[in-house]
Amino acid sequence: MSGFFERLERENEIIIHPGQSQGEFLEEFIRMWAVVRMQEDFLSGKLEADTFLDFLDQQEFDVYQLADNCWNPC
């Protein structure tokens, strides 16, 4: 697996914090699920790379670091 997808997978994990409310946990879960669905669409070719990177940027991922770790065969 490339470094890009390994990093994305690590950053998609749900973290439960002591004292976290049910609402905060649900928000974290929904965020994680949205990233997983977008990742699935990207890998299946249903989503353009720019759209995927824009979404990751909105989710506060470091898209430049993710892109640097992405292998491009072209």
pLDDT for position 9: 64
What is the residue-wise DSSP string for 3-60? HHHHHHHHHT---PPTT--HHHHHHHHHHHHHHHHHHHHHHTTSS-HHHHHHHHHHTT
Of the candidates 2, 18, 10, 1, the residue with the CA atom closest to the CA atom of residue 67 = 2
Q: Which amino acid is at 44?
A: S
pTM, 2 dp: 0.59
Split at pLDDT 50, 70, 90, the class of 69 is confident
**Farthest CA pair distance, the chain:** 48
